[in-house]
Amino acid sequence: MYDYLIVGAGLYGAVFAHEMKKQGKTCLVLEKRDHIAGNIYTALEEGIHVHKYGAHIFHTNDRKVWSFITQFAEFNRYTNSPVANYKGEIYNLPFNMNTFSKMWGISTPEEARAKIEEQKKEALASLEGEPKNLEEQAISLIGTDIYEKLIKGYTQKQWGRACTELPSFIIKRLPVRFIYDNNYFDALFQGIPVGGYTQIVEKLLDGTEVRLSTDYLEEVKKAKAQGCENPETLGLAKKVVYTGPIDAYFDYSLGTLQYRRVEFEEEILPVDNYQGNAVVNYTDADTPFTRIIEHKHFEFAHRYHADGSLLTPEEEAADPKTIIYREYSVEWKIGDEPYYPVNDDANNALYAKYKALADQEKNVIFGGRLGEYKYYDMDVVIKVALEKVQEVISAG
Q: Which stretch binds ligand FAD (CB under 6 A): 6-14, 89-97, 143-151, 308-316?
A: 6-14
Q: Is beta strand 83-86 parallel, antiparallel or unpaired with respect to 279-282?
A: parallel
What is the rounded distance in angstroms from the CA atom of residue 315 to the CA atom of residue 310? 10
9 binds, among ligand FAD, ligand UDP, none (CB under 5 to 8 A by kind): ligand FAD
| Burial class (CB within 10 angstroms; exposed 0-12, middle 13-18, buried 19+) of 104 | middle
- Amino acid identity for residue 283 in this structure: T
* 122 among known catalytic residues: no
Instruction: Say if CB 185 and CB 93 are below 8 A apart.
Output: no
CA-based radius of gyration for the chain: 23
40 binds ligand UDP (CB under 6 A): no
DSSP string computed for 212-281: -S--HHHHHHHHHHTT-SSGGGTTTEEEEEE-S-HHHHTTTTT-PPPEEEEEEEEEEESSS-SSSSSEEE
Residues 6+ apart with CB under 8 A from 40: 10, 11, 51, 53, 56, 197, 198, 200, 201, 378
Closest contact distance (angstroms) between CB of 162 and ligand FAD is: 23
DSSP string computed for 130-199: S--SHHHHHHHHHHHHHIIIIIHHHHHHHHSS-GGGS-THHHHTS-B-SSS-------SEEE-BTT-SHH
What is the rounded distance in angstroms from the CA atom of residue 395 to the CA atom of residue 389? 10
Closest contact distance (angstroms) between CB of 41 and ligand FAD is: 8
281 binds, among ligand FAD, ligand UDP, none (CB under 5 to 8 A by kind): ligand UDP
56 binds, among ligand UDP, ligand FAD, none (CB under 5 to 8 A by kind): ligand FAD
30 binds, among ligand FAD, ligand UDP, none (CB under 5 to 8 A by kind): ligand FAD
CA distances from 338 to 136, 253, 353, 373 (A): 29, 18, 20, 11
Which CB sits closer to ligand FAD, 101 or 256?
256
* 327 among known catalytic residues: yes
7 binds ligand FAD (CB under 6 A): yes
What is the rounded distance in angstroms from the CA atom of residue 163 to the CA atom of residue 155? 7
x/- contact string, 161-180, with ligand UDP (CB under 6 A)? ---------xx-xx------
Q: Which of 77, 130, 173, 286 is catalytic?
A: 173
Closest contact distance (angstroms) between CB of 260 and ligand UDP is: 8
x/- contact string, 22-61, with ligand FAD (CB under 6 A)? --------xxxx----xxx------------xxxxxx---
Instruction: Say if CB 197 and CB 35 are below 8 A apart.
Output: no
Nearest to 78 by CA among 251, 281, 242, 295: 295
157 binds ligand FAD (CB under 6 A): no
Which CB sits closer to ligand FAD, 8 or 82?
8
Which CB sits closer to ligand FAD, 118 or 266?
266
Closest contact distance (angstroms) between CB of 139 and ligand UDP is: 12
Instruction: Say if CB 34 and CB 59 are below 8 A apart.
Output: no
153 binds, among ligand FAD, ligand UDP, none (CB under 5 to 8 A by kind): none
Q: Which stretch binds ligand FAD (CB under 6 A): 113-121, 168-176, 211-219, 357-365?
A: 211-219
Instruction: Say if CB 98 and CB 128 are below 8 A apart.
Output: no
* 130 among known catalytic residues: no
* 33 among known catalytic residues: no
170 binds, among ligand UDP, ligand FAD, none (CB under 5 to 8 A by kind): ligand UDP
120 binds ligand FAD (CB under 6 A): no
155 binds ligand UDP (CB under 6 A): yes
By CB under 6 A, name the one of 151, 201, 257, 262 that touches ligand FAD. 262
- Amino acid identity for residue 273 in this structure: N
Which residues does the annotation mark as catalytic? 173, 177, 260, 291, 327, 375, 377
Interface ranges with ligand UDP (CB under 6 A): 84, 93, 150-151, 154-155, 158, 170-171, 173-174, 281, 283
Chain contacts with ligand FAD (rule: CB under 6 A): 7-13, 30-33, 38-40, 53-58, 215-217, 243-244, 262, 339-340, 368-370, 376-379, 381
